[in-house]
Amino acid sequence: MPERLAAPRSRIGQPAQVALAAAPPAVADDRAAGAAGADVDPSATPSALLGAGGELSARRDAPLGGQAVIEGVMMRGVSNWALAVRKPAPERSPDAHAGAPEANGAPGGEPELGEIEVTAMPLDSVLKRHRLLRLPIVRGVVALGGSLAIGFRALELSANAQLPAEQRAGDRPGRAQDEPGPGDRGSERAAEESEPLDERSQQAADVPAQQEIPKVVWAGTVVVAVALAIVLFFLVPVGLTSLIKHQLGSSVLFWLVEGLIRTTLFLAYMLALSRVRDLRRVFEYHGAEHKTISCYEAGLPLTPVNAQRFSRLHPRCGTSFLLIVMIVAIFVFAPIGLPAWYWLFATRVLGVPVIAGISFEIIKFAGRNRSRGWVRTLMWPGLKLQLLTTREPDLHQLAVAIAALQAVLERETPGELTAEDLVGVELVA
């Protein structure tokens, strides 16, 4: 069962409490705590590189990965993964707004923020139990399957967290840090208890009985998403190229044209996604995930201000991985030649796991050798592609990413893991 955590952001790294409050005063504390580390001296931090734009990037690689979700971030370690989600702000009456011009105590009337809800779960990878699954290329396919399962589970939890508390079946919202306990509710609690019982019952009856998003919906979403990706990026390119197969007259030209069409479709798809306004905040959380992991890999204290100094691009990002998939596919399909159309389509479907496994080995190698100049040169196109799928996060979003990473670090310390602990660990940031 998932374990609900939380602690105020100013106490990140301390023992967890029942719920994690996220009010602007805590953000102010984050800024104060990170002010001393805001002007990080790269020469004093050997694990960080200073980029041309003044942004920092980590030199070393840590066994950590993550994913942006709806209003939150999922972080994954060796044996645990955690999800931190910013829940919707509680609704306030017009009178309450009129009496509190500075929402949540934030100067300038910043919007009120909901609390950060953190869910942590154990992770038992099948790679640790079966030696054959840890073979090169095979391990990448298995790891990607596991990451896909965890990713959609995290998306499910983050989507359900955005539902009103009354509409989430069996869910009990955690107590905020500044919320009074059972014995000291004060006049607000007394006023609530003084309401007539029938009136409160009527209010409860008026709440719509909406359940969480069914798991079958998420399972169907996974199947449809994978099928559409295979059709769009593998079957459509080979189908279009087959229309001019006789004009090309060469298998070499065939797979070059097919690869060009595939890569063009992929880049156009990524560009279209970057223009969707509804995905902007997801891309901001994606940037927060990268910055937080890089901050940890550089060995700096995990504060929003420190994390903000790092680049939002990461060499192990899934966006870079997808671009590598498009390029590797060209070389994998080249030896097949020009068989009948049905064999062309069959090889494009059956070849997907092989291409994914090879691409995973490349992205893993790049993460381990990021400090080498020639590796950074080869990974440069993938890093620049991340400019479409990441955005600069604010301090509030960085605090969410840090909360997720701290939930993982409270259960494991990457620097203290043994070789046995790291068996089968394959992660993408």
Does an H or E element contain 72, and which? strand 72-76
pTM: 0.72
* pLDDT cut 70: percent of the chain above it: 66
Whole-angstrom Cα distance, residue 400 to residue 395? 9
The one-letter amino acid code at 106 reads A
C-beta contacts of 375-384 below 8 A and 24+ residues apart:
376/315, 379/315, 379/320, 381/323, 382/315, 382/317, 382/319, 382/320, 382/321, 382/323, 382/324, 383/313, 383/315, 383/317, 383/320, 384/313
Determine the average pLDDT of the residues in 16-44.
39
pLDDT for the residue numbered 53: 60
Domain tally, the chain = 1
pLDDT for the residue numbered 250: 83
Q: Quick one: pLDDT band at residue 89, thresholds 50, 70, 90? A: confident
Domain of residue 251 covers 3-35+43-91+112-178+212-416
Residue 11's alpha-carbon distances to 29, 33, 49, 247, 258, in angstroms, are: 10, 10, 28, 67, 53
More confident residue, 164 or 243: 243
pLDDT for the residue numbered 133: 84
Q: How many residues does the chain have?
A: 429
Q: Residue 186 domain-assigned?
A: no
Q: Residue 364 domain-assigned?
A: yes
Q: Residue 250 domain-assigned?
A: yes
Q: Residue 223 domain-assigned?
A: yes
Selection from 148, 127, 282, 168 nearest residue 219 by Cα: 148
Q: Residue 206 domain-assigned?
A: no
- pLDDT tens string 216-265: 777 788 889 889 999 999 999 999 999 988 888 788 899 899 999 999 99
Q: Quick one: pLDDT band at residue 191, thresholds 50, 70, 90? A: very low
- pLDDT tens string 344-369: 999 999 999 999 999 999 988 887 88
Q: Residue 103 domain-assigned?
A: no
Q: Residue 80 domain-assigned?
A: yes
Whole-angstrom Cα distance, residue 13 to residue 237? 49
pLDDT for the residue numbered 310: 93
pLDDT for the residue numbered 40: 53
Mean pLDDT of the chain: 75
- pLDDT tens string 111-141: 678 899 999 999 887 777 778 888 888 988 8
Q: Residue 148 domain-assigned?
A: yes
pLDDT for the residue numbered 85: 96
pLDDT for the residue numbered 62: 78
